[in-house]
């Protein structure tokens, strides 16, 4: 039996702010969306042409507090072919939250506090 990863969900407070962040920071764009009949939630799947894996952004109308992300020890990782340019872009955006130069990686943080690891492409 085999399993294929297809998406991961992040709950977000401001859907448009999150969509703008993921588009600017990582080039992820909306693939499809689901809106509850009573408009109590909106789910937007974002992705890119590099992989079929999608990030599911869920907005809940009645959620009235920031999401508890614990110690931010979970994250998604993104590989880039131009690590230096990505680092410069994210530094200019002010979203780098942690760097580990000895490992050659860094993390950016989205508007809700989720961490996203940036790694250079394997050569």
SS3 15: helix
Question: What are the CA-CA distances from residue 12 to residues 33, 63, 86, 102, 106 (Å)?
Answer: 14, 10, 24, 32, 22
The residue among 68, 73, 62, 82 whose CA lies nearest residue 123 is 82
Active site positions, annotated: 117
Which residue's structure tokens are 């410069």?
Answer: 88
């Amino acid at each position: 039996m085999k399993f294929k990863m297809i998406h991961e969900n992040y709950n977000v407070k401001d859907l448009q702010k999150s969509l703008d962040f993921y588009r600017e920071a990582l080039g992820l764009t909306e693939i499809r969306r689901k809106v509850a009949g009573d408009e109590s939630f909106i789910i937007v799947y974002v992705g890119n042409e590099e992989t079929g894996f999608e990030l599911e952004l869920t907005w809940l109308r009645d959620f009235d507090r920031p999401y508890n992300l614990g110690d931010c020890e979970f994250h998604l990782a993104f590989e880039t072919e131009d690590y230096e340019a990505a680092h410069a872009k994210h530094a200019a955006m002010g979203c780098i939250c942690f760097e580990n130069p000895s490992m050659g990686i860094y993390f950016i943080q989205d508007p809700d506090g989720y961490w996203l690891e940036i790694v250079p492409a394997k050569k």
